[in-house]
Structure 1
């Protein structure tokens, strides 16, 4: 992540207020299943890592990525994209899912990792951590319904990619 970070011009650095608000909300709600990682970059990025249940028996690596911009990203690592002829079939499948589900977006990165993302926009002074929690609840519901079908098409599922980090 740090390799492609563009530093802010001198004196324009802003504190990431969403991270502290999200952490405070989680403590107040008794949600203790996130691990905080401070990235120490020019965007004051803080990542909250967890694992979400998916399908019948899977767990997928999930990150709530906050920074000092107006965006917050909930990113779920689904696994790795298949190779060979199955790759195009898989890409067509996730494009079809993207067309049917407006709140979530599937993507495949250059390193073949497959992600499911939800973007939340908010100014710091209007940031509502309960919106993030609702997004996570929707992801759990969505993954329960779709992940087993996705998993059978992947080269490796998220829980088979030992040690994966965002």
Structure 2
């Protein structure tokens, strides 16, 4: 019996949505892994900075918007302040969560569950707009913590 290949319909749907709406600021990158992960890479401008953003789709029920807020900005002397900030933000916002890597990178993730058939690229766009609006209001605070 031949193995059936399951495609990442969410990636194709998102790509079609981008083309249909003349949204040409994402670049598609197919990872070629077993989940058929596809990254749609771009940048968002916040306070004069270009923050990398990925829309990550695959064959699982999750689609993730990941914004890289800052690289190596959390250090020993500001970790407690960042932990407090992230906890406050994570309690205040349902659609996204802040997280930090062990080496001090800060990122923001929005996770949207859907099946391949129920995926709605418009929801991704709406959530991305909410994330950008949030960062436009909070990025100065993040940088103030980073420079402590």
Q: Given the two structures, how large is their TM-score scaled by the length of structure 1?
A: 0.82
Deviation (angstroms), 1:107 = 0.2
* Corresponding residue of 2:62: 71
Residue 54 of structure 2 contacts residue 67 of structure 2 at CA under 8 Å; is this kept in 1?
A: yes
Residue 22 of structure 1 contacts residue 129 of structure 1 at CA under 8 Å; is this kept in 2?
A: yes
How many pairs were matched up?
Answer: 145
1:121 paired to 2:100: no
User: Quick one: distance in 2 between partners of 1:109 and 1:83?
Assistant: 11
User: Quick one: distance in 1 between partners of 2:34 and 2:110?
Assistant: 23
Residues 30, 90 of structure 1: alpha-carbon distance in 2 compared, 3 angstrom cutoff: same
* Corresponding residue of 1:163: none
Mind listing any 5+ residue stretches in structure 2 that lack a counterpart?
Answer: none
Residue 81 of structure 1 contacts residue 87 of structure 1 at CA under 8 Å; is this kept in 2?
A: no
Deviation (angstroms), 1:12 = 7.0
Question: Which digits, 9 at most, give the CA deviation of each residue in 1:84-115, with x for residues without a partner?
Answer: 22111111111111111111100012232211
Mind listing any 5+ residue stretches in structure 1 that lack a counterpart?
Answer: 1-10, 156-166
Residue 35 of structure 1 contacts residue 50 of structure 1 at CA under 8 Å; is this kept in 2?
A: yes
1:39 to 31, 40, 48: 31
User: Quick one: distance in 1 between partners of 2:113 and 2:5?
Assistant: 19
Residues 68, 40 of structure 1: alpha-carbon distance in 2 compared, 3 angstrom cutoff: same
Q: Given the two structures, how large is their TM-score scaled by the length of structure 2?
A: 0.91
User: Quick one: distance in 1 between partners of 2:5 and 2:100?
Assistant: 31
